[in-house]
Amino acid sequence: MTDTTADTPAHRPAWRGLIGFNLLTAILLGIGGFYLGAWIGGKMAVGHDYLIGTDQNDVGIFMGFLFGSIGWLAGLGFFNYPLQRLVGSAPLSAAAEEDMYVVPTTVAQHEGGIGRYFRLTTDHKVVGIQYFFGVGIFFFIGGLNAMLIRTELLTPHEKAWPAGQYISLVGLHGTMMIMMTSAFILGPFGNYLVPLMIGARRLAFPRIEAFTFWLVPLAGLVLLSAIAWNGFPTGWTGYAPLADEARAGMDAYIFAFILIAISLTLVGINLLTTILTMRAPGLTWGRLPIFVWGVLATSFLAALAAPVLVATMLMGLMDRAATRPTSSPAAAAAPTSTRTSSGSSGTRRSTSSRCRASGSCSRSCPSLHASRSGGTGSRSQGCSASRSSASSFGSTTCS
């Protein structure tokens, strides 16, 4: 009689699946990384005069998002293989690579189970399903925002949300839908179907394929964090110079778009390389399915357009965190920039003046503090340059 007990895997407790590199670990390390980055950014911003006039620290927020993203990726196990190669380990076989991202006491990926959809995997079918449900969740959140917008529009007067929160709600809805729509074709259907249609076993760069997916939920979470930073008043477009004057929620908008643009660039390059170099023998261009042609064209456009979006968002980041204005010639010519908050309106006002050596201003500047009485703000046309004893360079005041 054949003994089959040795072939039957031992039963493992369900809690063992929580140990290792998975979504839960990514969330915990992401939160820890955010606080670490915010602390480092706070130390970096000490003594910078352009942050004194406002109650927020854009440097700390951006550093928090950066370190939080690194913690998120580390919790998923993205740094395991690069670190092993750095210390001189031999390249992994296909079977060993499948088990690399799980602790030996947990269920391996090739054994199946729902747990493989919550961790890093290089299986293009699993990644496609991860894309489908991950993007679908954020689609639902974007649609929920649309319902909240329509709730406010039931009456011509303010009913559910104040004016500032309503504008932020419109921006969150539009931004979420655009970000997720851009990833919905290449992500779920491109990753899942293209290798099957061209006779390939996988995509050209499996780890980059997994990397592009896990950037998408991270971008969605960063964008949703704008609610905790008073939102942003620009809508989904994020146009400057209003983006430069917005509160800290604009930092979340900028960083989320950087993440989604990096994901689009890499998934476009990955699919382009797969279609161009990994087609089955005999699958000529004339025999290529029409869906693969569509993915090829879309991937080409994504690889061209998304890097431009990254560059634009980086300029917006520099405008807000490093006082390097790029949105207007007048602001770019100004040596200093003073920022003050404007209360519940969700924006902060930037005032820059270029003063000549004679002490006269090259243009007039508005008053830094608008009067709240009567609902109108006072403006002053005359500017004078003065020196502050607490600063090492001149500041501009309005009289």
Residue 326: the pLDDT is 55
**Cβ(334)–Cβ(351) below 8 Å:** no
Q: Are residues 54 and 150 in the same domain?
A: yes
Residue 6 lies in a domain: no
- pLDDT tier, 289 (very low <50, low <70, confident <90, very high otherwise): very high
- Please tell me what DSSP assigns to residue 132: H
Q: 105 is written with which tokens?
A: 């006491």
Q: Is the pLDDT higher at 394 or at 160?
A: 160
Q: Are residues 36 and 157 in the same domain?
A: yes
Q: Are residues 199 and 67 in the same domain?
A: yes
Residue 228 is which amino acid? A
Q: Are residues 142 and 233 in the same domain?
A: yes
Q: Are residues 210 and 69 in the same domain?
A: yes
- Each residue of 211-249: pLDDT tens digit? 999 999 999 999 999 988 888 888 888 888 888 888 888
Could you give the percent of the chain with pLDDT greater than 90?
Answer: 39
Domain limit, last residue, from 275, 295, 321: 321
- pLDDT tier, 96 (very low <50, low <70, confident <90, very high otherwise): low
Q: Are residues 135 and 220 in the same domain?
A: yes
Spatial separation of the C-alpha atoms in residues 24 and 75, rounded to whole Å: 8
Burial of 84 (0-12, 13-18, 19+ CB in 10 A): middle
Q: Which domain holds residue 349?
A: 338-398
Spatial separation of the C-alpha atoms in residues 108 and 192, rounded to whole Å: 21
Q: 322 is written with which tokens?
A: 């490093």
Domain limit, last residue, from 279, 294, 321: 321
Q: Is the pLDDT higher at 153 or at 339?
A: 153
CA dihedral 213, 96, 269, 184 (to 10 degrees): -30
Burial of 241 (0-12, 13-18, 19+ CB in 10 A): middle
Q: Are residues 55 and 147 in the same domain?
A: yes
Annotate 241-296 with three-state secondary structure: CHHHHECCHHHHHHHHHHHHHHHHHHHHHHHHHHHHHCCCCCCCHHHCCHHHHHHH
- pLDDT tier, 355 (very low <50, low <70, confident <90, very high otherwise): very low
Q: Are residues 97 and 21 in the same domain?
A: yes
- pLDDT tier, 14 (very low <50, low <70, confident <90, very high otherwise): low
**Cβ(274)–Cβ(229) below 8 Å:** no
* Residue 386 parent element (H or E): strand 383-386
Residue 200 lies in a domain: yes
Residue 329 lies in a domain: no
Residue 164: the pLDDT is 75
Spatial separation of the C-alpha atoms in residues 298 and 287, rounded to whole Å: 19
Residue 3 lies in a domain: no
- pLDDT tier, 51 (very low <50, low <70, confident <90, very high otherwise): low
Q: What's the pTM?
A: 0.74
Q: Are residues 56 and 97 in the same domain?
A: yes
Domain limit, last residue, from 321, 355, 372: 321
Residue 283 lies in a domain: yes
Q: Is the dihedral of CA 235, 240, 244, 250 positive or negative?
A: positive
Q: Are residues 200 and 275 in the same domain?
A: yes
Q: Are residues 161 and 104 in the same domain?
A: yes
Residue 4 lies in a domain: no
Q: Are residues 301 and 168 in the same domain?
A: yes
68's CB contacts (< 8 A; 6+ apart) are 30, 31, 33, 34, 37
Residue 252 lies in a domain: yes
- pLDDT tier, 209 (very low <50, low <70, confident <90, very high otherwise): very high
Q: Is the pLDDT higher at 194 or at 10?
A: 194
Cα three-residue angle 71-36-214, rounded to 5 degrees: 20
Residue 100: the pLDDT is 52
For residue 240, the domain's CATH number is 1.20.210.10
Rg, the chain, Cα only: 26
Q: What's the domain count of the chain? A: 2
- Please tell me what DSSP assigns to residue 42: H
Residue 375 lies in a domain: yes
